[in-house]
Amino acid sequence: MQSLNFPTPIYNNNIPTPQKANHFLFRNRRDQTPRFPTLLLAAEHDLALKDEENKGGAVVPLPEGLRREVMPRHVAVIMDGNAKWARQRGFSAASAGHEAGGRSLRELVKSCCEWGIRVLTVFAFSYDNWTRPKMEVVFLLSLFERMLQSELDNFMRKGIRVSTIGDSSRLPESLKKLISDIEEKTRDNCRLHLILAVSYSGKYDVTQACKSIAHKVKDGIVQLEDIDESLLEQELETNCAQYPCPDLLIRTSGELRISNFLLWQLAYTELFFAEALWPDFGKAEFIEALTSYQQRQRRYGGRHS
């Protein structure tokens, strides 16, 4: 496991939060949470969990060693190693690994629901993956569609909201319709927000945000001096989430890169690289990643005396 141990996190309430855009049209209607963790935010997170539990949610006791007050609100995962897993077991095609990876994703979603994580973003299919062999691409999209269909009842029962980010223009029509239907049906669920990055590119996400702002400047909707980090973040696809920027990124299979995933949003994210291949990534590995996260000191460019 490639991970560094850091001192216990220190929450500094005196760090100023970034200024929001001044233009009234671009004030986010959702709660804008400062990117700096504070004891107040941790308390609000815990109260939200208790509220969900009162509504019938199944927040279970945390595994030994984990603390709810420093649980990451948003976890992102690059699910890598399916094809390698299949090869190691003698399968001629990567499809067996993708099927096994689907089972790992179900278990991860279950753990996030039970342990109070609010947002889970998974890199299901990169825009760059369109260059893979056609049979593998067709299988991946078919598997994705089947999983969504089979999990809809579970999403509703457990209060999971589903959103997708990425360029949907190349997706099959049946999959686009299914995604639209599931997003609409789960829109009011609030226990866990599951964000599926499909045909997603971090570079494109930033590019389209810049283009959107440029159009609004051209049309006189916003002034040049209104453009700041907050305004750009509101144009990114992850703005669908209450907590758009991940606290923790996990990548499996021992690869040490972020592969064009959430490039802007990962600016201050803690990184954890697991040796386990994605189909072998289970509860024990997730606990290890969360334990490592909770041992770290998040400074955001500052320094604690």
Instruction: Show me where the domains of the chain are located.
Output: 70-200+246-295, 202-236
Tens of pLDDT, residues 123-136: 999 999 999 999 99
Q: What is the pLDDT of residue 193?
A: 98
Tens of pLDDT, residues 133-151: 999 999 999 999 999 999 9
Q: Report the length, in residues, of the chain.
A: 305
Tens of pLDDT, residues 93-103: 899 999 999 99
CATH of domain 70-200+246-295: 3.40.1180.10
Tens of pLDDT, residues 214-260: 999 999 999 999 999 999 999 999 999 999 999 999 999 999 999 99
Q: Which residues pair with 37 in a beta bridge?
A: none
Instruction: Provide Rg for the chain, Cα atoms.
Output: 19
CA dihedral 34, 235, 240, 140 (to 10 degrees): -120
| pLDDT, average across residues 205-222 | 97
Residues with a catalytic annotation lie at 80
pLDDT beyond 80 at 305: no
> Helical H runs in the chain?
39-54, 82-88, 95-115, 134-158, 173-185, 202-218, 229-235, 283-294
Distance CA 176, CA 91 (A): 30
Treating both helix axes as pointing N-terminal to C-terminal, what angle do 173-185 and 134-158 enclose, rounded to 10 degrees? 20
Side-chain-facing half-sphere of 197: CA atoms under 13 Å: 27
| pLDDT, average across residues 106-123 | 97
CA–CA distance from 292 to each of 74, 78, 104, 281 (Å)?
Answer: 15, 17, 20, 16
Distance CA 115, CA 91 (A): 35
Q: What is the pLDDT of residue 132?
A: 93
Tens of pLDDT, residues 157-187: 999 999 999 999 999 999 999 999 999 999 9
